[in-house]
Structure 1
Amino acid sequence: MASMPGTLAFDEYGRPFIIIRDQQNQKRLTGVDALKSHILAGRSIADTLKTSLGPKGLDKMMVSPDGDVTVTNDGATILKLMDVDHEIAKLMVQLSQSQDDEIGDGTTGVVVLAGALLEQAELLLDKGIHPIRIADGFELAAQCAVKHLEKIADSFPVDFTNLEPLIQTAMTTLGSKIVNKCHRQMAEIAVQAVMAVADMEKRDVNFELIKVEGKVGGRLEDTVLVKGVVIDKDFSHPQMPKVLKDVKLAILTCPFEPPKPKTKHKLDVTSVEDYKALRQYEAEKFSEMVQQVKDAGATLAICQWGFDDEANHLLLQRQLPAVRWVGGPEIELIAIATGGRIVPRFEELSADKLGHAGLVRELQFGTTKDRMLVIEECKNSRAVTIFIRGGNKMIIEEAKRSIHDAVCVVRNLVQDNRVVYGGGAAEIACAIATSQEADKISSLEQYAFRAFSDALESVPLALAENSGLSPIHTLTEVKARQVKERNPALGIDCMLKGTSDMKEQHVIESLHSKKQQFVLATQLVKMILKIDDIRSPSDGMSM
C-alpha cells in the first residue's frame, strides 16, 4: 500500500481511497515561503510597469511570436501582451484588465499600487505579523483612504455649455500618451464624441454609438470627429457619383444574385438555347431586384454581400449607387445612425424601412488608391466616428488606445462628476490621512495602516523619478506643504511648470477611477496574502 501514489485514507468499510494524487511528485511551497514567492512575482510585474507611469513615463515595445511590434505605455495593453508564466503574475494582469474594463484609465497606477502594497506586506511578514492581520489592516486602511477621497473631491456640473473641465480631465489622461503633441485637439474630440451620444437623463453613455476608425497616412493632427459613420469601403463602380445629397439608404443583407435552385441533383446546360435562357433568367432577376430597390425610393444601396460585374453594371445603368461587402457591425451602425431597417429579403423592402442621410461622400487619400465612405447628417445624429490619421499602423493603434482611455474617463464623469487632483496629489493626501488614523488605533492593524500609507507614496515617488526629479526630496517637500497648507491639490510637478498646485495646472482625475484603483489593488493583495500553499508538478513548476 505504501508504494501507491498520493495520501491514502480508508472509508467506513475499510476501502482505501486517494486524497491527493501524485503527492510525492508534487513540488510544494507552503507558509511564508509561498507568500514570499507570490510577493516577488507581483512586485516584479509592478516594477516593470513603474517606469511607464505619468506624463514622462517611458513606453514599452512588445514583440509577439509572429514578429508584430506594439509600442505602448498603456498598462493593460503591456500586461495583456506580456508572456507571463507565474500564477500570481497572471492575477496582476487580470487586475489591470478589470480596471480597464470598469474604468478605462489608471491601469498602470493600479498595478504600481498593488506592487507597493505587496512590498510593504513583505516587511510586515518579516516582523512576524500574521498575513490575515495584514490583509484586514490593508482593507480598513483602504476604506479610510476612500472616505478621505470623498472629502477632498471637487465636483462640477457636466453641461453642454461649459465643456472645459471635461476637456482638462481628458487632457490629464492623454498627457502620458503618444498623442500628447496634439493634446488639446484629441481631448476635445473625445469630449465631443461622448457628449454627442450621452444620455443626460440616465447619466449614461452608449459606447456602441462611438466608432473609432484609423487610416495610415497624414498626421495625427488630421484626426477628426465625424458626426456620422465612416466605413472602409468605396462605391462598387468607379463611375458612380462621389458625393450624394439627401440620400435614402436601402440596407440589405440579401445578395444581388438570382436564387439558387434548391436541389441535390446536377443541372446540365447541354445546348446554347439553355445557356441563353439561363442568361436571360439571370438578367431578368437582376433587373427585378434593382427595380424593387428603386421602387422603394432608395437612392443608395448598402449591401452586406458582394455582387458580380453584371449586377454592378446594371446598377450603374439604372443610376443606383451601391456599396458592397459592408461588414455586420458597420451595417448595424449605419442602421442606427440613419434610422433605417436592415432588410433580409428584397420582397420586404418598402419606403418606411429606408434610412436617411443628408450627405454621403467618398474620401480619397493623396496619391494612394485608398478610399473611404462618410455618411453624415444622419437622422439619428447620436452615432459618431472618431477618424484617426497617423504616419504608420503602430501610431494609429496607440492613438486608438489613448482615445479609448480619454473617452472612458469622460464617460465616468458623465456618470459621476466628482474629481480629485492628479500628479500624486490624491495619493499624498490619503497617505497623510491613513498615517494619522494609524496613531488612533491601539491594535496590531496600526502597522498595516502605516504600511498602506507608505505604499500610497510609491505612486508620487514613481512620478517624480520618471520625471527626472529627486524622488525623496520632491515627495517630502510636497507632503510637508500639504500638511502645513492643508491643500490636497499639491502634487508632483512632472511637467516642470513651476507650481505644485495641480488645480492651477488643471491636472484632474476622476474620483471614481481613483477609488476603484485603491479598492481593486487592496482586494488583490488581500487575496494573495491568503494563499499559503502552492502545488504543481515538479517538472513544470514556474516559480
Structure 2
Amino acid sequence: MLYTHNSRSRVLVLAGALLEQAELLLDRGVHPIRIADGFERACNVAVTHLESIADEIPFGKDDHEILLRTAKTSLGSKIVSKCHDLFAEMAVSAVLSVADLERRDVDFELIKIDGKVGGSLADSKLVYGVVVDKDFSHPQMPKEIRDVRMAILTCAFEPPKPKTKHKLDITSVEEYHKLQEYEKEKFEEMVKQVKDCGANLVICQWGFDDEANHLLLQNQLPAVRWVGGPEIELIAIATNGRIVPRFEELTPEKLGKAGVVREVSFGTTKDRMLVIEECANTRAVTVFVRGGNKMIIDEAKRSLHDAICVVRNLVRDNRIVYGGGAAEISCSLAVSKAADEISSIEQYAMRSFAAALDAIPLALAENSGLSPIETLAEVKSRQVTEGNTRLGIDCNLTGSNDMRTQHVFDPLISKRSQLYLATQLVKMVLKIDDVSTCNQLIFS
C-alpha cells in the first residue's frame, strides 16, 4: 500500500501554478480582489467535492495493517529506508498508544522523540515510558529501582539563604562548625520530609552539592539532579505526579508512580540515561533513536515525525482520497463545471484555479517519463466518460490508472489542508498592492 507523503511539494507546486494563472488574469485586467475571491470560491468547491468522493478505511488497536503500510511508504524515500519496517512499527505503536480512538484524538504531548549518538538505526526502540538524558547523582546509588514513588521537585536541596544584603563573615572555627551543623540539619530535615511522604526517588530540577548528595546516599534515597523543565513536566504527566515547589507541600498523593526506573549505559562510553517504565499513565511513550552521528539522528527524528503525523491524520479522520493526481483531476473537473454556472467575473478565476490543479498530475507524468499533456488529457477524458474519480497518473507504469488497485492514496485531512494552504498563500500575495524597497541613503 502506497502513500504519497509530499504535502510540502504539492502545496508549493499548486501555489506556483495559482500565481502563474493569477498573473495571466491580471494582464487581462481582472482586479486582484476578484481573483482572490474566485480562488477562494473554487477552493471551497474543490474541498466539498473531495469530501463527496472520499472513501473510509477501517482500522483498530489490533487491526493496524493499513496504518503500518502507510507509515512504511512515507519512510520509503527517507534516510531511514533500510530500517523502515522498524520505524513504521514504532510510529504506529506510538500513535496508537496515546490515541483516544473514540474521540479520534492524538495527544502529541505524550510522544517524545529522543536520540543518542552511537549504535545504528536498527538499535532504535520504542520505550513505553520516559527516557531522560540524566543519571543518578551518585555513582553508588542503585542502577535500578522498582515500585517507584518519586518526588518531583522544583526546589533546590540546599539550606535557605540569609535574608540580608550583608555578607556573612566567618571569623572562627567554632562559627564555621556552627554553620556546617546548621546546613547539615537543614539537609537532614529535607531528606526526612521526602522520606516521610513515602518517596523512594527524588527528581530535582536544580542541583545540590556534594554534602547533600552524600546525605541522600546515606539515607538510601536515590536522586536525579538538573532535570530540565520540559522533561520534568513529561515525567509528571507520565507518572501522574505533581510538581512540588516546596518541601513543606510534599504529600503521598503528589508522588509520581512507576514500575521501574533504571539507568542505562552505552557500551564503553560514559554516556548514561534514565529509563522510566511501567508508568501510572501508560499512554506516555518515548521513541529512542540511535545513529552513527548527529546528522543521521536529526534526519531520522524528522522522518519519524513525518510518519507519526501521517498515522495521526488517519486516526483523526480515516477518510482517504486517491493519489497519483486522481483527486486533483476530479476537483479540476468539478471546479470547471461550477464555473460554468456562475455569471460574475469570478468564473474566470475559477477556471484558472481548475487549470492550476492540473499542474500536479502534469508534474507527476513528466517526472515519470510520460508525455504530460497527452497523459493528462487521456486520464481526464476517462474520468468524465467512465465516471471513475480514482483514475490518476500511472507513475509506476503498471498498466493500470486506477489508484485503488495500486493502493495509492492521501488522507482527506492532508489533501484538504494542501488546498487551503496554497489558496490562502496566493490570496495574501494578491492583496499586496506594491513592494517598496528602501534605497540606501547617502549623506554628504
Q: TM-score, normalised by structure 1?
A: 0.74
What percentage of residue pairs aligned between the two structures are identical? Answer: 71
Partner of 1:260: 161
Question: Cα RMSD over matched residues?
Answer: 2.6
Partner of 2:84: 183
* 2:231 matches 1:330: yes
Partner of 2:108: 207
- 1:396-475 equivalences under 5 Å are 396-439=297-340, 444-467=345-368, 471-475=372-376
Counterpart of 1:398, as a letter, is E
* 2:50 matches 1:149: yes
* 2:412 matches 1:489: no
Partner of 1:375: 276
| Alignment CA distance shift 1:452-1:468 (3 Å) | same
What is the CA–CA distance in structure 2 between the aligned matches of 1:231 and 1:165, rounded to whole Å? 32
What is the CA–CA distance in structure 1 between the aligned matches of 2:388 and 2:84, rounded to whole Å? 28
Secondary structure of the 1:459 match is helix
Contact 1:168 1:507 in 2 (8 A): no
Aligned residues: 438
Partner of 1:224: 125
Deviation at 1:523, TM superposition (A): 2.7
What is the CA–CA distance in structure 1 between the aligned matches of 2:253 and 2:72, rounded to whole Å? 44
| Alignment CA distance shift 1:491-1:232 (3 Å) | farther
* 2:99 matches 1:194: no
CA shift digits 1:254-283 (9 cap, x unpaired): 111122211222211111121122222222
CA shift digits 1:275-303 (9 cap, x unpaired): 12222222232223223222222221111
- 1:2-41 equivalences under 5 Å are none
Unpaired segments of 5 or more residues in structure 2?
none
Contact 1:133 1:444 in 2 (8 A): yes
Contact 1:172 1:509 in 2 (8 A): no
Q: 2:208 aligns with which of 281, 303, 307?
A: 307
What is the CA–CA distance in structure 2 between the aligned matches of 1:239 and 1:507, rounded to whole Å? 56
Counterpart of 1:412, as a letter, is N
Counterpart of 1:405, as a letter, is D
Moved more, 271-280 or 284-293: 284-293
CA shift digits 1:399-451 (9 cap, x unpaired): 22232233233333333221112232211222233334445556544433332
| Alignment CA distance shift 1:426-1:223 (3 Å) | farther
Partner of 1:318: 219
Contact 1:422 1:491 in 2 (8 A): yes
What is the CA–CA distance in structure 2 between the aligned matches of 1:471 and 1:364, rounded to whole Å? 56
Moved more, 156-165 or 300-309: 156-165
What is the CA–CA distance in structure 2 between the aligned matches of 1:503 and 1:222, rounded to whole Å? 35
Partner of 2:15: 114
Partner of 2:140: 239
Deviation at 1:153, TM superposition (A): 0.4
What is the CA–CA distance in structure 1 between the aligned matches of 2:326 and 2:89, rounded to whole Å? 25
Contact 1:121 1:451 in 2 (8 A): yes
CA shift digits 1:142-188 (9 cap, x unpaired): 22211221121011345313222333443444344333333343233
What is the CA–CA distance in structure 2 between the aligned matches of 1:474 and 1:321, rounded to whole Å? 69
What is the CA–CA distance in structure 1 between the aligned matches of 2:278 and 2:60, rounded to whole Å? 23
Counterpart of 1:242, as a letter, is K
CA shift digits 1:91-130 (9 cap, x unpaired): xxxxxxxxxxxxxx82332122111101112223334444
| Alignment CA distance shift 1:325-1:494 (3 Å) | farther
Secondary structure of the 2:80 match is helix
Secondary structure of the 1:488 match is coil
Counterpart of 1:420, as a letter, is V
| Alignment CA distance shift 1:245-1:506 (3 Å) | farther
Moved more, 460-469 or 502-511: 460-469
* 2:180 matches 1:269: no
What is the CA–CA distance in structure 2 between the aligned matches of 1:310 and 1:323, rounded to whole Å? 15
Deviation at 1:323, TM superposition (A): 0.8
Moved more, 151-160 or 490-499: 490-499
What is the CA–CA distance in structure 1 between the aligned matches of 2:88 and 2:391, rounded to whole Å? 24
Deviation at 1:225, TM superposition (A): 1.7
CA shift digits 1:380-414 (9 cap, x unpaired): 11111121222222222222223223323333333
* 2:199 matches 1:298: yes
Partner of 1:533: 434
What is the CA–CA distance in structure 2 between the aligned matches of 1:527 and 1:277, rounded to whole Å? 71
What is the CA–CA distance in structure 2 between the aligned matches of 1:317 and 1:529, rounded to whole Å? 71
What is the CA–CA distance in structure 2 between the aligned matches of 1:369 and 1:469, rounded to whole Å? 56
Moved more, 471-480 or 134-143: 471-480
* 2:410 matches 1:509: yes
Secondary structure of the 2:390 match is coil
- 1:332-347 equivalences under 5 Å are 332-347=233-248
* 2:290 matches 1:389: yes
Secondary structure of the 2:16 match is helix
Partner of 1:278: 179
Moved more, 220-229 or 176-185: 176-185
Deviation at 1:379, TM superposition (A): 0.7
What is the CA–CA distance in structure 2 between the aligned matches of 1:243 and 1:288, rounded to whole Å? 26
Unpaired segments of 5 or more residues in structure 1?
1-53, 56-104
Q: 1:163 aligns with which of 64, 69, 80?
A: 64
Secondary structure of the 1:537 match is coil
Deviation at 1:336, TM superposition (A): 1.2
Deviation at 1:493, TM superposition (A): 4.4
Contact 1:174 1:406 in 2 (8 A): yes
What is the CA–CA distance in structure 2 between the aligned matches of 1:177 and 1:485, rounded to whole Å? 37
Moved more, 378-387 or 447-456: 447-456
Partner of 1:289: 190
Counterpart of 1:355, as a letter, is G
Contact 1:169 1:508 in 2 (8 A): no
| Alignment CA distance shift 1:259-1:135 (3 Å) | closer
CA shift digits 1:178-235 (9 cap, x unpaired): 3333334323322222222223343322221111111122222332221111111111
Partner of 2:252: 351
What is the CA–CA distance in structure 1 between the aligned matches of 2:87 and 2:291, rounded to whole Å? 13
Contact 1:169 1:507 in 2 (8 A): no
